[in-house]
């Protein structure tokens, strides 16, 4: 029948995500400095503007005292962008829930890395206590949602941190409109079924009215029938559909005109005059394939000595989840490889790799995206990878080449314009680097044009509008069904 469209009215939207768009750093008893959080979730959600939004999440810091909590809540509320409401998690919960269950168990599993060795025996105490902390943290998020919920609100839960939340919310208020969206890949059922808490997690998510994806796990692990509408579990239908995320492309395109961005561009162009510049921008995460990328660059230099002083790789790798041992190991591994390659191929005046362990501010980042010749995105697995979108958005004048992993979600959307590579195949990536550096202008233009068209027409705004509209429609349809 006819589809209902709710996009015209200003809908109140409660976004619930583990991470707020800003993270707090304490300066004294009641004073806080707020810094932008880094990651695809924040980038996508910051692009969402047409709703009356409240954003509920963790400020990335432990605040045990009430004075500090009140001051932080106020500082967040005063922040211009969207209203932010903090969820306070104590140190032990953060350790077990965020470092443990989310980043040491779900993250590697969802990215096909598997479960960590010590947790392979599903019944170990550490696994169980981490799962308990996960559920406890999700309950704390639910408490804050309930405190701020008004009838008619859309509650949009995000990511693998909050798979238990739809259930917590629906148990307290079955009328609440609840959606859940996953920013990571959802692994095949053969992988997901390794997880000791596999049934409980899936069932909790299915308490939502609308879910981002994952039909195969529901059908294979829960044994449910998938239909074009979604899946039905114990008489309750959950609508399941795909909603590809995007960026606020206009924000990037407009930023390129700003004098401070132009200044950065000038400096960068002078600094690297006479050399081609390749760019990597990632959180320093094992799924980003940073060591593989750097080894492929080494192979390229090895095989093409004539390029040695003519190309540089800028790898900007912001540290992330630094309390998790796997991430600490990765940092030393990357430093070691970079040091070795620079020692091997560097000269007195230049080194082939500039590696920075830091984040860049938005203006610096736009300038870098705009002046570089090739972007190298070699994720071993990635939900979408918005860095690839950002690079394309900033390349209208230069028409640089995107080398993109076939294991990033973006390969589905930017595959025709990018050079797709298997990041595990160092030889293939090395030869793609050569191909990209030598690509004639007309081919670059054609490829870029294809991707640019996609990036500007599949934006974060569109993503959110479609998801929220679909959620509203789902609820109305469910009401109509029960009346029949
Ligand atoms: P993920 O969500 O796994 O971090 P995405 O590529 O989807 O991966 O999103 C990363 C976001 O974080 C992008 O918006 C990118 O601009 C930002 N980002 C990543 N690394 C840096 C960095 N070193 N400095 C500044 N921003 C960064
Ligand atoms: O989906 C990727 C993600 O988990 C996002 O939630 C977030 O953008 C990013 O990784 C950053 O991770 P964290 O919130 O752990 O710093």
Q: Write the residue with the smallest CA distance to atom 12 of ligand 2.
A: 39
Ligand 1 pocket test: which of 44, 103, 386 has the largest number of ligand atoms within 8 Å of its C-beta?
386
Q: Which atom of ligand 2 is nearest to the CA of 160?
A: 4
Using DSSP, state whether 178 is helix, strand or coil. strand
The CA–CA distances, whole Å, from 348 to 308, 309, 343, 344 equal: 13, 11, 10, 12
- Of all protein residues, the one whose alpha carbon is nearest to atom 10 of ligand 2 is 39
Which pLDDT value is given to residue 421? 98
Whether 120 has a pLDDT exceeding 60, the answer reads: no
pLDDT of residue 122: 46
Q: How far, CA to CA in Å, does 352 sit from each of 69, 276, 449?
A: 47, 11, 30
Q: In terms of Cα–Cα distance, which of 440, 447, 448, 405 is closest to 296? A: 405
User: Strand 154-158 to strand 12-19: parallel, antiparallel, or no bridges (unpaired)?
Assistant: parallel
Q: What is the mean pLDDT of residues 395-400?
A: 98
How far apart CA 333 and CA 339 sit, in angstroms, is: 10
Average pLDDT in the 145-164 region? Answer: 97
pLDDT above 60: residue 461:
yes
C-alpha 344 to ligand 2 mean position (Å):
35
Tokens of 80: 């211009």
Is residue 126 pLDDT above 80, yes or no? yes
| Residue 79, pLDDT score | 66
Res 239: pLDDT: 85
Q: Is the CB of 153 under 6 A from ligand 1?
A: no
Is residue 311 scored above 80 in pLDDT? yes
Question: Reduced to 3 states, what is the DSSP secondary structure of residue 318?
Answer: strand
| Nearest ligand 1 atom, CA 287 | 3
Residues present in the chain in total: 484
Distance CA 484, CA 471 (A): 20
Q: Is 385 in the pocket of ligand 1 (CB under 6 A)?
A: yes
- Tell me what the pLDDT averaged over the chain comes to: 91
**Share above pLDDT 70 across residues of the chain, in percent, rounded to a whole number:** 93
Contact predicate 386/40, CB 8 Å: yes
- What is the pLDDT, as a whole number, of residue 28? 81
CA–chain centroid gap for 434, Å, is: 29
297 or 484, which is more confident? 297
Q: How far is CA 397 from CA 310, 368, 372, 392, 393, in A?
A: 22, 13, 11, 10, 10
pLDDT at 322 over 90: yes
Which residue of 44, 279, 359 sits with most ligand 1 atoms within 8 Å of its CB, as the best mutation to test the pocket? 359
pLDDT at 288 over 70: yes
Q: Is the pLDDT of residue 145 over 60?
A: yes
Phi-psi label, residue 214: left if phi above 0, alpha if psi -120 to 50, beta otherwise: left
* Residue keyed to tokens 């990215």: 111
Separation in Å, CA 94 to CA 140, 277, 479: 12, 39, 39
The pLDDT tens digits for 21-49 are 999 998 888 889 999 999 999 999 988 88
| Ligand 1 pocket member 448 (CB < 6 A) | no
For the residues 172-192, what does the mean pLDDT come to?
92
Place of tokens 């509209």: 469
Residue 280's pLDDT is what?
A: 98
Summarised one tens digit per residue, pLDDT across range 243-286 is 889 999 999 999 999 999 999 999 999 999 999 999 999 999 99
pLDDT at 217 over 70: no
pLDDT the model gives residue 127 = 86
Instruction: Using the mean position of ligand 1's atoms as its centre, give its distance from the Cα of residue 283 in Å.
Output: 6
pLDDT, position 215: 59
- What integer pLDDT is reported at residue 431 of this predicted model? 98
- Centre of ligand 2 to C-alpha 58, Å, is 12
pLDDT in tens, 74-84: 888 876 555 89
pLDDT for 3 beyond 50: no
Question: What distance in angstroms lies between residue 387's CA and the mean position of ligand 1's atoms?
Answer: 6
Instruction: Write the ipTM.
Output: 0.97
Percent of the chain with pLDDT over 90: 77
């Amino acid at each position: 029948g006819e589809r209902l469209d709710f996009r015209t009215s200003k809908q109140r939207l409660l976004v619930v995500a583990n991470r707020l768009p800003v993270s707090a750093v304490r300066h004294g008893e009641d004073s806080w400095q707020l810094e932008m959080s880094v990651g695809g979730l924040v980038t996508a959600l910051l692009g969402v503007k047409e709703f009356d939004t409240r954003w509920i999440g963790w400020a990335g810091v432990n605040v045990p005292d009430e004075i500090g909590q009140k001051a932080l809540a106020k500082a967040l509320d005063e922040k211009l962008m969207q209203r932010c409401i903090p969820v306070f998690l104590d140190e032990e919960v953060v350790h077990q829930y965020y470092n443990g269950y989310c980043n040491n168990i779900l993250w590697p599993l969802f990215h096909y890395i598997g479960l960590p060795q010590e947790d392979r025996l599903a019944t170990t105490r550490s696994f169980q206590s981490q799962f308990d902390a996960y559920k406890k943290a999700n309950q704390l998020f639910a408490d804050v949602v309930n405190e701020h919920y008004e009838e008619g609100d859309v509650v949009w839960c995000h990511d693998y941190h909050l798979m238990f939340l739809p259930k917590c919310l629906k148990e307290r208020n079955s009328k609440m409109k609840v959606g859940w969206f996953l920013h990571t890949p959802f692994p095949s059922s053969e992988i997901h079924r390794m997880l000791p808490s596999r049934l409980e997690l899936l069932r909790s998510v299915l308490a939502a009215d609308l879910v981002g994806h994952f039909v195969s796990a529901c059908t294979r692990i829960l044994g449910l029938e998938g239909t074009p509408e979604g899946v039905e579990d114990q008489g309750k239908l959950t609508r399941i559909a795909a909603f590809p995320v995007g960026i606020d492309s206009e924000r990037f395109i407009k930023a390129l005109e700003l004098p401070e961005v132009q200044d950065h561009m000038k400096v960068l162009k002078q600094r690297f005059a006479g050399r081609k510049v390749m760019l990597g921008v990632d959180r320093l995460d094992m799924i980003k394939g940073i060591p593989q990328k750097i080894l492929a660059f080494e192979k390229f230099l090895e095989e093409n000595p004539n390029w040695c002083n003519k190309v540089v790789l800028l790898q900007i790798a912001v540290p992330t989840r630094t309390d998790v041992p796997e991430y600490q190991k990765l940092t030393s591994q990357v430093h070691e490889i970079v040091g070795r390659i620079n020692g091997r191929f560097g000269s007195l005046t230049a080194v082939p790799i500039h590696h920075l362990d830091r984040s860049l501010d938005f203006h610096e980042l736009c300038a870098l995206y705009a002046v570089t010749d090739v972007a190298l995105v070699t994720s071993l697995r990635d939900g979408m990878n918005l860095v690839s979108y950002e690079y394309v958005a900033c390349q209208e004048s230069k028409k640089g080449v995107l080398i993109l992993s076939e294991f990033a979600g973006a390969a589905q959307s930017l595959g025709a314009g990018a050079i797709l590579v298997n990041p595990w195949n160092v030889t293939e990536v090395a030869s793609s680097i050569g191909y990209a550096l030598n690509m004639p202008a007309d081919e670059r233009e054609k490829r870029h044009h294809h991707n640019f068209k996609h990036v500007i027409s599949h934006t974060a705004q569109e993503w959110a509008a479609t998801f929220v509209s679909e959620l509203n429609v789902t609820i109305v349809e469910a009401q109509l069904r029960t009346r029949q």
